[in-house]
Chain A
């Protein structure tokens, strides 16, 4: 099982994701440069957080057109695992691998704090070790996490069970107060129809070790690493 972490100019959570996969989970990991046209045989590709291309034009818009994304699209369409975190989620939206778009946070503020997430789906490679309705605590750090799509598309997304995480209270209740950015229907993370592509705004790589005071993000990485091993 081999993992790849894509590095765009301006990525800044690439080493964190690499560290969790390499040193916490002891996996074979490589960095993939944005100009690479091959994924070097990686089973799992992580699009990390950061400010790819300085967020020029729109967050993720330039990165979505970089050479490596053509390879990521082929990988995703063939059922390969792709995890987009924060800016990586924005890149997946701009690349059309996941539906919808991000707008500025409703508060117009960069939000950097811990939030709670309710797990909505547990049959995915990423979430199979979690319980439905389980509440996770994870940090967010973004200015554009206000997820939006046309109402009928949101209905279809929900009906297909493709909302994977929602912002919630510590007790697991989805409320406007628990929503840090104004995202439609409290959506924090979604997957594609095949369940192999996941995007989420919170940062599981920042809460995957006891020394960080929170290990709620580790299950996501451990889950997908196990699933990728089984798929091989």
Chain B
């Protein structure tokens, strides 16, 4: 089973990278961009076909390594074959 994990700076925390990208977008002509959050995306292949097990494992991965939950939120998405 494949999965996509996304990690983003927490909403309440100022994201200096996102802000710089938003400003750059407006400089190249994209008006009306209210907000940009810059994060990371991971594509992970797992040996299991059990969705509940995969989701549980991926959440543990996020808690232990992929995200720093002091400043980041994460989301787990299973990609059906």
A residues apposed to B, CB below 8 Å: 57-58, 61, 65, 94, 99-101, 103-108, 146, 148-150, 182
> Does A104 contact B17, Cβ atoms closer than 8 Å?
yes
What are some 28 contacts across the A-B interface (CB < 8 A)? A57-B40, A57-B65, A57-B66, A58-B68, A61-B65, A61-B68, A65-B65, A94-B68, A99-B70, A100-B70, A101-B68, A101-B70, A103-B9, A103-B13, A103-B16, A103-B71, A104-B16, A104-B17, A105-B16, A106-B14, A106-B16, A108-B16, A108-B20, A146-B16, A148-B13, A148-B71, A150-B70, A182-B16
Chain A positions within 8 Å of B13 at CB level: 103, 148
Q: Mark B1-32, 1 if CB is under 8 A from A, else 0.
A: 00000000100011011001000000000000
Q: State how many angstroms separate the Cβ of A173 from the closest Cβ of chain B.
A: 24
Whole-angstrom distance between the alpha carbons of A100 and B69 in the complex? 10
Closest to A58 in B: B68
With contacts A101-B70, A104-B17 known, what are 12 further pairs, Cβ within 8 A? A57-B40, A57-B65, A61-B65, A65-B65, A99-B70, A100-B70, A101-B71, A103-B13, A106-B14, A108-B20, A148-B71, A149-B70
Interface majority SS (helix, strand, loop, mixed), chain B: mixed
* Closest 3 pairs between A and B when the two form their complex, measured CB to CB: A101-B70, A101-B71, A101-B68
Q: Mark B33-61, 1 if CB is under 8 A from A, else 0.
A: 00000001000000000000000000000
Whole-angstrom distance between the alpha carbons of A61 and B13 in the complex? 20
**Number of B interface residues, CB 8 Å?**
12
Whole-angstrom distance between the alpha carbons of A101 and B65 in the complex? 13
B residues apposed to A, CB below 8 Å: 9, 13-14, 16-17, 20, 40, 65-66, 68, 70-71
Chain A positions within 8 Å of B66 at CB level: 57
Chain B positions within 8 Å of A58 at CB level: 68
Q: State how many angstroms separate the Cβ of A176 from the closest Cβ of chain B.
A: 14
Closest to A103 in B: B71
Whole-angstrom distance between the alpha carbons of A108 and B17 in the complex? 7
Q: State how many angstroms separate the Cβ of A147 from the closest Cβ of chain B.
A: 10
Whole-angstrom distance between the alpha carbons of A22 and B6 in the complex? 45
Whole-angstrom distance between the alpha carbons of A101 and B16 in the complex? 15
Chain A positions within 8 Å of B40 at CB level: 57
> Does B70 contact A148, Cβ atoms closer than 8 Å?
yes
Closest to A99 in B: B70
Closest to A105 in B: B16
Closest to A153 in B: B70
Chain B positions within 8 Å of A101 at CB level: 68, 70-71
Chain A positions within 8 Å of B71 at CB level: 101, 103, 148
Closest to B19 in A: A108
